[in-house]
C-alpha cells in the first residue's frame, strides 16, 4: 500500500501529533464560525509559524458532520505541469492519522482524459497540498474513518483551461458532502521573489501590498473569473495559487451558467509574514475565505 510520507513535518510544522493537535485546537478556537458551512475554502500553505493562525479562519467554516470527501487543489511549485495531476498514493500520512485517497473519484477523473499522475517524489516534494492535511485531519477527527481525500496538483493553466477544469469539477461542487480546499498564499513581495510593485501613494510598502491583495480578494468575492484574470494581468500579483483559485471560479461560473446563483464567497482573515518598510524587505501574505451555497 503506497503511502505518501508527511515530508514537511518536523520543519514546516511540528512532527509531534499531540503538540500539533493542541496548536490547531488553539488556532481554531480563536476563529469565529461566520460564513459556513463551507463548500470551498481558500487557505494558505506556508509554515505554520507564519500562517497557521490565519488558516484556522477558513477551516473553522467547515462542517465535519456533512463532509464525506475533500478535494485539495494545490499549485505545483517544483515541476512544470501543463494540466492537473492526481496522486498515485493510496493514503497520505500526517502526525495525527492517515488520510485515505478516494480511488473511485480518481478513476472518474482519469476517465476524462484531462488528468495525468504525479509520481511519489513530485508528491512528497510539493508542500502546497501537504500543509492542509493536518488541518483537515483535525477538523475531521470525529469522523476519521468516514471521509476520503482527492489531492489535485494544478499546473500553469491558461484561463480557458481553468474554465475547462472548473466545468469538469462543477458536478462535484454541487454535492454538499464534498469540500474543496483551494491552496494559495497571496503576494510574495521583495527582490527574492522578483516582485517589488510599490505605489507610493498608499504609504508604507506593507500598506501598498495589503491594498493590492485586498483588491484581488474583493475581485475573488465577486466570483468573476475574467475579472480575476484581468487583475492578475494588470498587477502580476504573485498569488501562487492563482490557478487553483481560477479553477474554483471556473466551477462557480459553470454552475451559475446552469442557473445556480446562490453562491457567496467571503474572506475572513488577512495576514502578512512581516511588514515591509524598505525595498530590501520581503514578505508573504496570507488570506483565508469560504464559499457557501445559500439556500
What kind and span of H or E run contains 45? none
DSSP 60-118: TT--TTT--EEEEEEE-SSS--SSEEEE--SEE--SS--EEB-HHHHHHHHHTT-EEEE
Q: With contact defined as beta carbons under 8 Å apart, do 99 and 92 qualify?
A: yes
Closest-CA residue to 55 (of 39, 31, 19): 31
Contacts by 20-24, CB closer than 8 A, 24 or more apart: 20/95, 20/96, 20/134, 20/138, 21/96, 21/138, 23/48, 23/52, 24/52, 24/56, 24/134, 24/135, 24/138
Grid cell of 81 as nine digits:
505541469
Cell of residue 67, nine digits: 463532509
3-state secondary structure of 213: helix
Interatomic CA distance for residues 77 and 117, integer angstroms: 16
- Name the maximum alpha-carbon separation found in the chain: 57
pLDDT the model gives residue 82? 87
Written as tens digits, the pLDDT of the chain (295 aa) is: 599 998 898 888 999 999 999 999 999 999 999 999 999 999 999 889 888 999 999 999 999 999 999 999 999 887 788 899 999 999 999 999 999 999 999 999 999 999 999 998 988 888 899 999 999 999 999 999 999 999 999 999 999 999 999 999 999 999 999 999 999 999 998 898 889 999 999 999 999 999 999 999 999 999 999 999 999 999 989 898 999 999 999 999 999 999 998 999 999 999 999 999 999 999 999 999 999 998 6
Amino acid at each position: 500500500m503506497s503511502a505518501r510520507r508527511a515530508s514537511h513535518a518536523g520543519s514546516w510544522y511540528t512532527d509531534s501529533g499531540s503538540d500539533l493537535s493542541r496548536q490547531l485546537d488553539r488556532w481554531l478556537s480563536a476563529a469565529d464560525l461566520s460564513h459556513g458551512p463551507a463548500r470551498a475554502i481558500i487557505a494558505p500553505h506556508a509554515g505554520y509559524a507564519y500562517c497557521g493562525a490565519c488558516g484556522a479562519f477558513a477551516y473553522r467554516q467547515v462542517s465535519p458532520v456533512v463532509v464525506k470527501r475533500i478535494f485539495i487543489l494545490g499549485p505545483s511549485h517544483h515541476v512544470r505541469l501543463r494540466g492537473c495531476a492526481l496522486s498515485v498514493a493510496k493514503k497520505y500520512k500526517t502526525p495525527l492519522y492517515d488520510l485515505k485517497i478516494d480511488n473511485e473519484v480518481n478513476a472518474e477523473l482519469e476517465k476524462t482524459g484531462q488528468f495525468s499522475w504525479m509520481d511519489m517524489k513530485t508528491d512528497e516534494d510539493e508542500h502546497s497540498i501537504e500543509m492542509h492535511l493536518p488541518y483537515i485531519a483535525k477538523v475531521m477527527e470525529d469522523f476519521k474513518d468516514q471521509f476520503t481525500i482527492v489531492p489535485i496538483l494544478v499546473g500553469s493553466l491558461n484561463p480557458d483551461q481553468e474554465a475547462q477544469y472548473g466545468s469538469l469539477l462543477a458536478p462535484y461542487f454541487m454535492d454538499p458532502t464534498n469540500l474543496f480546499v483551494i491552496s494559495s498564499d497571496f503576494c510574495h513581495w521583495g527582490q527574492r521573489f522578483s516582485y517589488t510593485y510599490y505605489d507610493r501613494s498608499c504609504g508604507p510598502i506593507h500598506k501598498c501590498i495589503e491594498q493590492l491583495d485586498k483588491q484581488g480578494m474583493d475581485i475573488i468575492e465577486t466570483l468573476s473569473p475574467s475579472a480575476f484574470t484581468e487583475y492578475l494581468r494588470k498587477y502580476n500579483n504573485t498569488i501562487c495559487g492563482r490557478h487553483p483559485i481560477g479553477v474554483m471560479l471556473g466551477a462557480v461560473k459553470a454552475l451559475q451558467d446552469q442557473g445556480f446563483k446562490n453562491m457567496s464567497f467571503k474572506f475572513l482573515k488577512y495576514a502578512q509574514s512581516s511588514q515591509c518598510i524598505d525595498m530590501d524587505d520581503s514578505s508573504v501574505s496570507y488570506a483565508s475565505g469560504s464559499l457557501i451555497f445559500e439556500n
